[in-house]
Amino acid sequence: MALHFERSEFDARRDRLMIEMAEKKLDAILLFAQESMYWLTGYDTFGFCFFQCLVVKADGSMVLLTRSADLRQARHTSIIDNIVLWTDRNGANPAVDLRNLLNDLNLLGARIGVEYDTHGLTAYNGRRLDEQLQTFGQIADASGIVGRLRLFKSPAEIAKAEKAANLSDDALDAALPMIKQGGDEALILAAMQGAVFAGGGDYPANEFIIGSGVDALLCRYKAGRRKLTKNDQLTLEWAGVFHHYHAPMMRTVLTGKVSKRHQELFDAARAALLAVEKAMTPGNTFGDVFDAHARTMEAHGLTKHRLNACGYSVGARFTPSWMDMPMFYQGNPEPIAPHMTLFAHMIIMDSETETAMTLGRTYLTTESQPKPLSRHDLDLIVQ
């Protein structure tokens, strides 16, 4: 088997889930998020683009309903013993197969939790699921249960996050010599992703973000490459990834002369990130962390140029995004606690002057101040 954790690790995760299910009086939970399946069993696939479901009963027993293409995938990468297939055919409705499976598991009339809030369950399939279950049992939204369990990382998970962070640093090291006048974004991107692969890492759950010139103000990947000019700005957001665990970083790197506006924005970004670090401690909330960011931006007169979130939890994630919950935004009551891996990003986009500045890295929370997982400092990078 291609398992990345000891069996005892999976057993401990299952036991934590069983406790949550008992507290919520669930006889079973239907998991559709690939992250949940991977965390609980090791099951590693992108087959969640089709209908599949991991049924977990209150006694800890599990059954996977999936397609034939993922049968061997599940056998090879997971601890799942019981795998049931639904058949691709004209007019197939796998929600019917799931209802029949639940009936075979003696769950008729049971209280069943459903993990609705995931890309692994489209609205179309969700509607078909509800149609089949509306008279089958008592259905409850169980979307956040496994997600919150994943928020707190075990020592084995922290080791993978630290390896991912090393790969993030390697990617930046590979990029820096190429960031100069005439430097090609395509080659920079290839070097960064290549460094992650060469270090034993994986594809990220979303594309690396790269943009120079006016494109440096974008916070999402887009198609199209350009070459850097003498005095340019290059925004990069990337992540080292190891066994699907992500450690994102973010930087705006300058070529040539540093403009006054770039320096102003960098000073604000660095001050804001340090304020966020100070707030990222037990006793504070995710909302408190955002407030530290917002206050600093306001003090620098940059409120209209900042975003309405400044980071989020990270861990083992699958397409289409490495972003996890909870996020740093106003009023988020989720407490900061030890053993979380959190990405904080300071993003300032001044569209009036077409000036960009970003600064971000991944942290491990502790009993006191958070530990940065990057070996790079927070100095402004000018090539």
Helices 185-198 and 155-175, axial angle in degrees (round to 10): 150
Average of per-residue pLDDT across 36-51? 98
Q: What percent of the chain has pLDDT over 70?
A: 100
* Position 1 pLDDT exceeds 90: no
314 Cβ contact partners less than 8 Å away, ≥ 6 residues apart: 161, 239, 245, 246, 247, 248, 322, 323, 324, 341, 342, 343, 362
Q: What is the pLDDT of residues 259-311, one digit of tens each?
A: 999 999 999 999 999 999 999 999 999 999 999 999 999 999 999 999 999 99
Q: What is the pLDDT of residues 318-333, one digit of tens each?
A: 999 999 999 999 999 9
CA dihedral of 375, 377, 380, 383, whole degrees rounded to 10? -40
Query: What is the pLDDT, as a whole number, of residue 222?
Result: 96
Q: How far apart are CA 364 and CA 372, in angstroms?
A: 6
Q: What is the pLDDT of residues 66-90, one digit of tens each?
A: 999 999 999 999 999 999 999 999 9
**Cα Rg of the chain (Å, integer):** 22
The DSSP result for 213-253, as a single string, is GGGGG-SS--S---B--SSEEEEEEEEEEETTEEEEEEEEE
3-state secondary structure of 9: helix
Q: How confident is the model at residue 217 (pLDDT cuts 50, 70, 90)?
A: very high
Q: What is the pLDDT of residues 161-182, one digit of tens each?
A: 999 999 999 999 999 999 999 9
**Backbone torsions φ then ψ of 20, nearest 5 degrees:** -65, -40
Q: What is the pLDDT of residues 340-365, one digit of tens each?
A: 999 999 999 999 999 999 999 999 99
End-to-end, the C-alpha distance of the chain in Å comes to: 46
Average of per-residue pLDDT across 220-242? 97
Q: How confident is the model at residue 145 (pLDDT cuts 50, 70, 90)?
A: very high
Q: For 196, what's the count of Cα atoms within 13 Å in the CB-facing half-sphere?
A: 26
Average of per-residue pLDDT across 132-150? 97
- CB of 101 within 8 A of CB of 129? no
Query: What is the pLDDT, as a whole number, of residue 277?
Result: 98
**Backbone torsions φ then ψ of 238, nearest 5 degrees:** -145, 175
**Backbone torsions φ then ψ of 330, nearest 5 degrees:** -60, 130
Task: Please confirm whether the linkage preceding 320 is cis (ω < 30° from 0).
Answer: yes
Average of per-residue pLDDT across 89-106? 97
Q: Which two tokens stand for residue 288?
A: 């408190």
Taken in order 168, 170, 176, 179, is the CA torsion positive or negative? negative
- CB of 204 within 8 A of CB of 241? yes
**Backbone torsions φ then ψ of 184, nearest 5 degrees:** -100, 125
Mean of the per-residue pLDDT values of the chain: 98
DSSP-derived secondary structure letter, 371: E
Q: What is the pLDDT of residues 7-32, one digit of tens each?
A: 999 999 999 999 999 999 999 999 99
